[in-house]
Structure 1
Amino acid sequence: MEHGEDVIAELMSDHRTIEALFSQFEGTPPGSDARKRLADEITIEWVRHAVAEEEHLYPAVRDHLDGGEALADREVAVHERVEQLLKELEGCEPQALDFNRLMVKVRTEVTAHVREEERTLFPRLREGVHPFILESLGRKVRESKKTAPTRPHPSAPSTPPANRLLAPGLGLVDRTRDFLSGRGQGLP
């Protein structure tokens, strides 16, 4: 998908990509290898997206919006729940009973998160933050996703500065593992 210049357009594009992957997942036969591949792609896209939000979006929310601290904390909590579910999913084979149950939970959490951001958070950002800052954040988010982890790390820090220091190293290890295993081939 074409990514926009500001952080809102960038993150909304990520949302559409993840939604499309969920739709593809639903269209594949239960227990199939295609479902495992799509679950891996969803995981990769979600983790990169979540890391970028935690590194750049939520600090800006805390700094620029009234009540931003609580709002950012709530969204980070959703990220942590999804990441824990994805970690559980990582160890499941697509034929396992838990596989589909976990994917339903992941989709439910992600869908609610997307809805909350797009209906509440993004309009508040658009209204309360200068376009220059939003564009700067968009560039930072795009750069962050290039080095972000691609696997869930639920015990990793989710707030700066620790997350900004650890994410590139975890990302390098994850991308090396992905390359060696063939996981996520064809994704940017």
Structure 2
Amino acid sequence: MPDTDAPTTPGAEEDVVDLLLAQHAQIEQLFLLVIGGTGDTRRDSFDELVKLLAAHETAEEEVVHPLARTLPGGGGDAMVDDRLDEERQAKETLQALISGGVDADGFDTGIILLRDAVLTHARHEERYEFPQLRQHVPAERLRSLAPSVRTAEASAPTRPHPSAQSAKANLAAGPALAVIDRVRDAMRRPSAS
């Protein structure tokens, strides 16, 4: 039996856990750019961070968390509920930061608090949810979920929506929210592509 705890080797097909771990690293890097940046660099990095967080969490809510709920041992529901609560709180904080903008009073404190919450959430997934998935879900199934996550991210809203944080809510409201978000994005930055 192959070692299910080992990440895929270079050139091997990426699995969903590898994809999410790579995104966690990208999110951490974007936080550093926002916190350490100024002017347009900070604003652009924050915009990229917001979009990545919204897409990442939507995909987890639609693809990963429902699978984690089915894990043997009966702990999947409580584990996912804890992660969803963390996500909801982060979305609320992120919404407040978006409303005020990167130049608002309190942004520096808010972004550090958000970073701490998001990275703690990521570590919880990495410590509790991802190892369980690797232990109980066949490697082929984990590989087949990576494209599903990418598809969910491609159609996800570009802003946080705390009220839509289940697979059902995302599928029902997500497409409309994604259109609204993309129109807002286009109006906000008409020169961006």
Please indicate the TM-score interval, normalised by the length of the shorter structure: 0.7 to 0.9
Determine the structure 1 residue equivalent to 2:133: 125
Identical columns (%): 34
Deviates more, 1:175-184 or 1:9-18: 175-184
* TM norm structure 1: 0.88
The number of residues matched between the two structures is 181
Q: Which of structures 1 and 2 has the bigger CA Rg? A: 2
Question: Does the 8 Å CA contact 1:65/1:125 hold for their aligned counterparts?
Answer: no
User: Cα 1:122–1:178, aligned 2, differ >3 Å: closer, same or farther?
Assistant: same
Determine the structure 1 residue equivalent to 2:20: 11
Question: Does the 8 Å CA contact 1:62/1:72 hold for their aligned counterparts?
Answer: yes
Question: Residue type matched to 2:16 in 1?
Answer: V
RMSD: 2.0
Task: Point out 4+ residue stretches in structure 1 off by more than 3 angstroms.
Answer: 183-186
Matches within 5 A, 1:59-78: 59-66=66-73, 67-78=75-86
2:91 corresponds, among 83, 106, 122, to: 83
Question: Residue type matched to 1:9 in 2?
Answer: D
Matches within 5 A, 1:86-105: 86-105=94-113
Question: CA shift at 1:160, angstroms?
Answer: 2.7
Unaligned runs of 5+ residues in structure 1 are none
Matches within 5 A, 1:1-188: 5-29=14-38, 32-66=39-73, 67-155=75-163, 157-182=164-189, 185=192
How far apart in 2 are the matches of 1:145 and 1:95? 28
Unaligned runs of 5+ residues in structure 2 are 1-10
Q: Could you give the per-residue CA deviations for residues 109-147 of structure 1, whole angstroms, max 9, x where no partner exists? A: 111011111222211211111112212221211100000
